[in-house]
């Protein structure tokens, strides 16, 4: 039987950019550009304050909306945090978890991610789990060890039935926001490795899981990266802030 095709996912990680007004003006420009796209899934990931406005603006389109983080508890004494049910109430579809900036600057751990992933699914959010090695780790030949450890620990509590529904973004830290993109060979090898780690736990999930590449994806390199057999989309930072650039990355996938 033929394997079901994995629909490419292009996610715009806006990080701490765009006010509500800036988000509205971006969407007014982007949505007509991507209105005819059916072959790829598009997700916008704004900062919390713009989520509700982006959900409302995208409601009549196929564009989905993701948050950039969440707490694992449904509620509680966690000042400054946001829970999955709060995001679901706003109409948010998914959530980025474990972005390297969260790991690096805000102490995000694999153990916390192992609690967040099931909580996201339980609330009805589709998670995008981020993994990736630092430059020093790559230079030391530790890329596969790092990816295996992040995936093994982060996915430890997730039931096999959910594994295939996950999107996993492979983002080499040295390529994020640096203008240095992984070569197609590096991206393919790492994304295939991520898939293989999932596949070792559950063969069917390995075939179904969407593995995205992230790290300085731009209109100029999107085509060659998105053509790779184990790359099922992209998590785009800087280039996703510009509607024309992001639409052209979407077009490369579709």
* Binder of ligand PGA out of 217, 226, 249, 250 (CB under 6 A): 217
Angle between helices 184-201 and 143-154 (to 10 degrees): 40
Scan residues 218-237 and list those touching ligand PGA (CB under 6 A).
235-237
- Count residues binding ligand PGA (CB under 6 A): 13
What's the min distance (Å) between Cβ of 161 and ligand PGA?
Answer: 27
CB atoms within 10 A of CB 100: 20
What's the min distance (Å) between Cβ of 122 and ligand PGA?
Answer: 25
Interaction between residue 69 and ligand PGA (CB under 6 A): no
What's the min distance (Å) between Cβ of 234 and ligand PGA?
Answer: 8
Interaction between residue 238 and ligand PGA (CB under 6 A): yes
- Is 171 labeled as catalytic in the residue annotation? yes
Among 41, 108, 133, 171, the one annotated catalytic: 171
Tell me the two tokens of residue 235: 């998590």
Interaction between residue 177 and ligand PGA (CB under 6 A): yes
User: Sign of the CA dihedral 41, 220, 143, 69?
Assistant: negative
Instruction: Say if strands 210-214 and 167-170 run parallel, antiparallel, or are unpaired.
Output: parallel
CB atoms within 10 A of CB 76: 9
- Is 99 labeled as catalytic in the residue annotation? yes
- Residue burial 154-164, b: 16+ Cβ < 10 Å; e: rest: bbeebeeebbb
Binding site for ligand PGA (CB under 6 A): 13, 171, 176-177, 214-217, 235-239
């Amino acid at each position: 039987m033929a394997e079901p095709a994995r629909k490419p996912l292009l996610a715009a990680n806006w990080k701490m950019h765009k006010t509500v007004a800036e988000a509205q003006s971006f969407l007014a420009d982007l949505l007509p550009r991507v209105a005819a796209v059916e072959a790829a899934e598009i997700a916008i990931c704004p900062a919390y304050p713009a989520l509700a406005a982006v959900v409302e603006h995208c409601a009549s389109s196929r564009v989905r909306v993701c948050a950039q983080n969440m707490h694992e508890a449904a509620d509680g004494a966690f000042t400054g945090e946001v829970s999955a049910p709060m995001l679901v109430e706003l109409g948010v579809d998914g959530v980025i978890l474990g972005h390297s900036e969260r790991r690096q600057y805000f102490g995000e751990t694999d153990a916390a991610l192992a609690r967040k992933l099931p909580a996201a699914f339980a609330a009805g959010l589709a998670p995008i789990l981020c993994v990736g090695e630092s430059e020093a780790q790559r230079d030391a030949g530790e890329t596969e060890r790092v990816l295996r450890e992040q995936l093994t620990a982060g996915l430890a509590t997730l039931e096999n039935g959910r594994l295939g529904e996950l999107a996993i973004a492979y983002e080499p830290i040295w390529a994020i926001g640096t203008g240095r993109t992984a070569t197609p060979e590096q991206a393919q090898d790492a994304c295939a490795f991520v898939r293989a780690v999932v596949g070792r736990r559950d063969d069917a999930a390995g075939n179904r899981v969407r593995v995205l590449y992230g790290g300085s994806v731009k209109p100029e390199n999107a085509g060659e990266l998105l053509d790779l057999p184990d790359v099922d989309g992209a998590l785009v930072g800087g280039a996703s802030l510009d509607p024309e650039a992001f639409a052209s990355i979407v077009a490369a996938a579709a």
